[in-house]
Amino acid sequence: MSIYKRGNVYWYKFMWNGELIRESTRQGNDRKARNSESEHRARLVQQQKDASNAQTRLGCSNVLPCHECEKLFNAEKAVRKADNVFCTVKCAADWSKARTMPTLQVFLKDRFIPDAETRHKGKPATVRYYRQGSDMLNRSRLATLRLDEVTNEHAGQFAAEFHKLSASGINRGLRTLRRALNLAYAWGQIDRVVKVELAKGERQRDRVLTEEEMASYLEACPQPWKDAAYTISEEGMRPGEVFSLRWLHLLIGEDGTGLIRVIDGKSRAARRVLPMTPGVRSMFKARHRSQGSPADGWCFPATTGDGHITGDGVKDQHTRALLESKVDHFVPYVLRHTALTRLAQATNGDVFALARIAGHASITTTQRYVHPQAETIEGIFNRAIRSQVKSRRQGTKRVGVGTKMGTVRMLTQARWRLEANK
């Protein structure tokens, strides 16, 4: 027996009928590892006996297991007259389909990644995300599964296999798996939609900067990140949307108005027109003048492959601004969350209007970007209580002590809930 350790897990390898067998035992105990190897050898011996008996019974030299019921059949006749050697017609059809069904690893390499590179040609971050997710899947036990064998249970096994990663890291692979399976269904490769549940506990970007933090941070930002960050924090745009702005996309009126046209994005809803705030209009007007008032070109040009600033390119500027401003660490995307939270208060709860501003196809997504403060929630309770008291006064002409006590009790309970959620 050849047992060896790789990292914290034992592996085994041995030759069987001229073929090298090498597998992980997924065990850190050498005794259990040896038992795993013995069990594998025993299975091979039993399979050999079953195949030999089937060859005698069927009068053939080559047998294969039925894809549907795992019974052995004459592989030579299966090619010529499949309906006579399978248990049912369904077994024959499923076996024929299985012979041409690619594994997950092959599908990712031959179909999924080439499609991602073509479909998201202008979005290198998206392509990089799917490549990294595909690499994770290729290193997992799911890689050798046929595409039609993958289920949500396997997605759970994938999450367990990469349990040392954060929920965000695990979900990188699971989102890639979900996207790949959805495409496989759309392309007719598999005949059912596979539900893939994401790992729980993924960290949400729910921080909202205060006005003081925002002012200190922007003051410490170097250019051109300063103007780009200011645009995100005022307009609520995605960083990538701001980075790729061209002067052709902007309308800066002489009457104090301004418009920003977003022409590309994650979905059709991302293509939208946003009014400029006065501060953003003044900033773009000054930047346009400093560049010689061009008719077109990048608003934030840089010496990168894309010709404009990128997320990777502004990392150092963002880090420097955090150090100089002494603002607690946050990722640049928090600027968008902060803007949308402020705009949510201005919309008076109109989530559909906010979704349009944010460029979301679903209001469910918009809800993750809105983080009302405790004062806002308490104000909603107070307005509801005042409305209730006013209604009762109009109906009874006089509010009794019991009604007043009920109002006080509601307000107290509301404050308790707010304190409990802090």
Q: Which of 113, 117, 266 is nearest to 176 (CA)?
A: 113
Does residue 12 belong to any structural domain of this protein?
Answer: yes
Q: Which one-letter DSSP state was computed for residue 298?
A: B
Residue 191 domain flag: no
Identify whether residues 119 and 84 lie together within a single domain: no
Task: Give the mean model confidence (pLDDT) for residues 205-227.
Answer: 90
Residue scoring higher pLDDT (10 or 82): 10
- When divided into structural domains, the chain yields a total of 4
Report the C-alpha gap between 242 and 246 in whole angstroms: 9
Whether residue 297 lies inside any domain: the answer is yes
- Is residue 368 in some structural domain? no
Q: How far apart are CA 330 and CA 319, in angstroms?
A: 10
Residue pLDDT, tens place only, 267-315: 677 888 899 999 999 999 999 999 999 999 999 999 888 899 988 889 9
Confidence label for 373 from pLDDT (cuts 50, 70 and 90): low
**Same domain for 93 and 62:** yes
Task: Indicate whether 346 and 267 sit together in one domain.
Answer: yes
Asked whether residue 402 carries a pLDDT value surpassing 60, the answer given is no
* Residue 55 and residue 151 in one domain: no
Please tell me the predicted confidence (pLDDT) of residue 171: 92
- Rounded CA-CA distance 359/265 in Å is 8
> Model confidence over 29-40: pLDDT tens digits?
888 888 988 999
Question: Where a domain ends, among 84, 99, 114?
Answer: 99
154 and 65 in one domain?
no
Judge whether residue 222 has pLDDT over 90: yes
Confidence of residue 389 (pLDDT cuts 50, 70, 90): confident
Query: Can you give the pTM of this predicted structure?
Result: 0.53
Q: Which two tokens stand for residue 222?
A: 């170097």
Residues 157 and 261 in one domain: no
Q: Are residues 316 and 357 in the same domain?
A: yes
pLDDT at 399: 43
pLDDT band with cut points at 50, 70 and 90 for residue 234: very high
Q: Are residues 309 and 409 in the same domain?
A: no
Q: 171 with 131, same domain?
A: yes
Q: Enumerate residues 6+ apart whose C-beta is below 8 A from 147.
A: 101, 102, 103, 104, 107, 181, 184, 189, 190
Domain end call among 343, 363, 383: 363
Residues 400 and 317 in one domain: no
Asked if residue 335 and residue 267 are part of one domain, the reply reads yes
Distance CA 155, CA 222 (A): 44
Does one domain contain both 254 and 354? yes
Q: Give the residue numbers spanning the domain of 53.
A: 3-99
| Structure token pair of residue 159 | 């999450």
**Average model confidence (pLDDT) across the chain:** 81
Contact 71, 87 (CB under 8 A): yes
